[in-house]
Amino acid sequence: MTLPAYGERSPMTLSSPLNLAVVGLGRMGKLYAQTVATRVSGASLYAVADPNPAAVAAIRDQHHVPVTATDARDLFTRPDIHAILIATPTSTHADLVIAAAQAGKAIFSEKPLALTIPETRAAIAAVERTGVPLQVGFNRRYDAAYLKAKAFIDEGRIGRPVTVKSVGRDPFCPRAEFADPAKSGGLIIDMGIHDFDVSRWLMGSEVERISAEGTLAVCDTLAAVGDIDNALVNLRFANGGLGNVEVSRHAFYGYDIRTEILGSAGGINIGGYQHLPVLLLTRDGAQHDVLPYLMERFGPAYQAQIQAFVDGVREDKPVSPGGADALAALEIGVAATLSAREGRPVTLAELR
């Protein structure tokens, strides 16, 4: 099969909006569809696809979507669709990326590209062969706080980064079916992949060695699927820098995402607990609420990453983070999972 060169597709100019197809209308897909339809400029929610016709119809009616399908691949052949946003279950990401790349579409894929290194490499290879833009949904890179921290580092405000530490705690034990490592990659990959990505990004260096400890302490239902609910992952970077990532399934007090960087001349702490600016003062002391869920913290970042993708594609500029970032974060996750299981340090060189 001869692939069309990207430039041969329906001409795209800055004056016309990007016709975007959202593939997969589960919780994240619905959110992306709404984001594209109402909060992104320069793109229209032109098509949606999901095996569930009712889900398709609901989004179609709500957002006046002109094109729909129950099989995503039916959309890929349409020349009037410029870009595919993949929000399907993780196990299907790689195949859809490959198919969309072969169809010459610009691609935004939710993280991760795949749960295994070979599948991830295959998807990246397809994208490289066809030259289509690929952006991966590491939304924290578009969070205003993380961007500000990155800018501080790039400006030299803390000198050279020396140690990066990241904490990711979800508010509730997941249902075992979602946490099943066969589907999620397991705790360390499923949750830690964001932390591994921002750690590389903020440190400006690649991880070389990983030592992890994990435990199953609270979420008993995970025993059935063979997973853990807490892990601590030490990282050694090529530049001599150090890192630690903590992931936990059960911070019942809220959604707790923090990252700190210690540099040679100062430090940066990203994250905080309080959600609403209300302090209650009583004989029991002071009380305030805590950030409850993902979207209260990263809703704007989800929007910003799609806007950046749309802008990049329309202006024919590189989009980021891309396939290499997806691979690098996954490799750390795979190595950390192995380290926790075997009780020994794992180098990324071993995996290659």
Pick between residue 8 and residue 342 the one whose CB is nearest to a second copy. 342
Q: Which CA distances in Å does 205 have to 161, 235, 336?
A: 10, 11, 17
Q: How far is the CB of 148 from a second copy (least distance, A)?
A: 5
Q: How far is the CB of 173 from a second copy (least distance, A)?
A: 11
The SS3 assignment for 126 reads: helix
Pick between residue 33 and residue 127 the one whose CB is nearest to a second copy. 33
Pick between residue 113 and residue 167 the one whose CB is nearest to a second copy. 167
Pick between residue 113 and residue 191 the one whose CB is nearest to a second copy. 191
Pick between residue 105 and residue 140 the one whose CB is nearest to a second copy. 140
Burial of 265 (0-12, 13-18, 19+ CB in 10 A): exposed
Pick between residue 267 and residue 312 the one whose CB is nearest to a second copy. 267
Q: How far is the CB of 259 from a second copy (least distance, A)?
A: 10
Q: How far is the CB of 77 from a second copy (least distance, A)?
A: 29
Q: 270-306: string of b/e by CB count within 10 Å (b at 16+)? A: bbeeebeeeeeeeeeeeeeebbeebeebbbebbbbbb
Residue matched to tokens 């019942």: 252
Q: How far is the CB of 71 from a second copy (least distance, A)?
A: 30
- Tokens coding 283: 């004989």
Q: How far is the CB of 60 from a second copy (least distance, A)?
A: 17
Handedness of CA 318, 321, 322, 328 (dihedral sign): positive
- Tokens coding 305: 């990453």
Q: How far is the CB of 5 from a second copy (least distance, A)?
A: 33
Pick between residue 4 and residue 240 the one whose CB is nearest to a second copy. 240
Rounded-to-integer distance, Cα 125 and Cα 127, Å: 5
Pick between residue 283 and residue 318 the one whose CB is nearest to a second copy. 283
The residue among 248, 256, 269, 249 whose CA lies nearest residue 298 is: 256
Pick between residue 116 and residue 204 the one whose CB is nearest to a second copy. 204
CA end-to-end span of the chain: 30
HSE (CB half, 13 Å, CA atoms) of 133?
22
Rounded-to-integer distance, Cα 33 and Cα 23, Å: 9
Q: How far is the CB of 81 from a second copy (least distance, A)?
A: 21
The SS3 assignment for 193 reads: helix
Q: How far is the CB of 264 from a second copy (least distance, A)?
A: 5
Rounded-to-integer distance, Cα 37 and Cα 59, Å: 10
If residue 325 lies in a helix (H) or strand (E), which one and from where to where?
helix 323-342
Rounded-to-integer distance, Cα 256 and Cα 106, Å: 33
